[in-house]
Structure 1
Amino acid sequence: MGKSSKDKRDIYYRLAKEQGYRARSAYKLLQINQEFDLFTGVKNIVDLCAAPGSWSQVLSKEFKDKDCKIVAVDLQEMAPLEGVICIQGDITKESTANEIIKHFDKADLVICDGAPDVTGLHDMDEYIQAQLLLAAFNITSHVLKRGGTFLAKIFRGKDMSLLVAQMNTFFKEVYICKPRSSRDSSIESFILCRDYSPPEDYRPTFIDPLLDYKYTTEYVLAPFVACGDINDYDADQTYPTEEGYKFIEPIQPPINPPYKSFLDKRRN
């Protein structure tokens, strides 16, 4: 792990530490909101796959002292947040949807920043992420009001157009967003679906296969939107640490003489 490590030296990682966010992903939601104004007129919000809670933190700060209910859901137990109702539950179960609805009739906004542990095999990662997104949408279809908004993480790939076609069946507007704080080198993006308008005869269910509905077979190219100020920090760029920050560089293991002499021979 060197000076340019993207895991620990990233500018958004440092900003998150400075501003008290639990993860750098908080800036992704902030930048998407900056572009699309997600929070205006919103009173009831659900944060799926919420742990460790950075997106819920953004919501908690944004809606502090406002008449708004925020429900955060995750399989893992999450540390409490002021103004946030935490539910430990499985988003693939109807009982979790019923638990959410106990707190309000319908949500205005459902967000999901969940992702599997990536393998590095892009086709497999994309498929697993797509299944997670569909699971998130399935519970969303139970709790989101007509006209509501759904935001979730996706992995860009060859089958992304299928997800867009599925979401276009249920929403009038679908966008693919790439926040400035999301690294260019990452296949991560976010799908933003606005104005929830399911077909009149559609009935959400946890029993039938997910999205087992005759959605349009026409593939629609969703608009791709880069979110965040173009002059803002670049997540793939290494910046000097701010004054007051002192990061301890990892100690390099000493090279013993036999290994060093072997390297010298290879160089010669």
Structure 2
Amino acid sequence: MVSAMAGKDEYYNRAKQQGYRARSAYKLKQLDREFDLIGHGDTVVDLGAAPGGWLQVAAEEAGRHGRVIGVDFQRIDAVERGDAPVETIRGDMTEDETKAAIAEAADGRVDTVISDMAPNMTGEYNLDHARSVHLARQALETATDLLGEGGNFAVKVFQGQDLDGFEDDVAREFAFSRRTSPDASRESSSEVYVVGKNRLTGPVRVGDVRDVEITGVGEEGDGIAKVEGFTLFVAGVEEGDEVRVEVTDVKPRFGFAEPIEE
């Protein structure tokens, strides 16, 4: 006969023993350990934060010089764990009023946006997947509105036909992106997490085609072009050239491009 304790999974039991509100706290711990999402002193926004397990972890990782903001329709009990102050906002993350409240609470600076939201499950796999992607896209839209240059993002989404397209959208907005499944996720679960690091705020993205003028040459010999003040390094050109280029890589403060032969 299986005991009641053995009938619960490891992370559920660990959460109860260590005072976390949900087993999902260990998913964020593992994501943060792998991707360094939350730094000491960071301002973190948790979308769909109830019951508060991720808020507890974020408050520990951000430390006393950081701050943590949780957003949810549901009321969240006060979080008394970790050194970072935690504020909660009741509202819809997609509404301008809620975004304004977040920006005010964050004092204009957000370093990391995280979301462990899941849709109300219907048991119909394709529908549940589509709803999870919709929630993830809403979280991504909110994150791109809030995050400054170099900010980080992590969101839960269910596997399915629309996941690749969503990953492409994340990859377009961040210098680094990855799909991952923390050990704390149940083996039977279809959930994965999509992580984006180093938010891009410049005017170009990988694959963009631009007509540029080469105004200088960098230390490595690449031509230098400016797009709305953003620096592009262009291979195989000389100062004074006017060329059409395709953007091949983008970092938060500069990018790389190659001439298109016409």
- TM-score, structure 1 length as denominator? 0.70
* Paired positions, count: 201
The verdict on how the C-alpha distance between 1:4 and 1:180 changes in structure 2, with shifts beyond 3 A counting, is farther
Q: Which residue of 2 aligns with 1:70?
A: 68
Task: List aligned pairs for 1:98-247, cutoff 5 A.
Answer: 98-103=100-105, 104-198=107-201, 200=203
SS of residue paired to 1:15: helix
- Deviation by residue 1:131-166 (Cα, 9 ceiling, x = unmatched): 101111122122111110010001111221110111
The CA deviation at 1:120 is 2.1
Q: What residue is the counterpart of 1:88 in the other structure?
A: 90
Code of the aligned partner of 2:171: N
1:184 Cα deviation (Å)? 2.0
In 2 relative to 1, CA 201–100 (structure 1 residues): closer, same or farther, beyond 3 Å? farther
1:100 alignment partner, SS class: helix
Shift in Å at residue 42 of structure 1? 4.9
RMSD: 2.3
**8 A Cα contact 2:39 2:62, kept in partner:** no
What is the distance in 2 between the residues matched to 1:174 and 1:4? 41
Shift in Å at residue 171 of structure 1? 1.2
Letter in 1 for 2:58: L
Instruction: Give per-residue Cα distances to partners, 1:35-90, cap 9 Å, x unaligned.
Output: 112223552110110000000011122334x2111111101111011320111111
AA of the residue aligned to 1:69:
R
Is the 1:94–1:139 contact (alpha carbons within 8 Å) kept by the matching residues of 2? no
The answer to which of 48-57 and 121-130 deviates more is 121-130
1:6 shift after superposition: 11
- % identical equivalent positions: 35
How far has the Cα of 1:125 moved from its partner?
Answer: 0.8
Amino acid at match of 1:94: D
SS of the residue aligned with 1:146? Answer: coil
Q: Could you tell me how far apart the structure 2 residues matched to 1:114 and 1:8 are?
A: 25
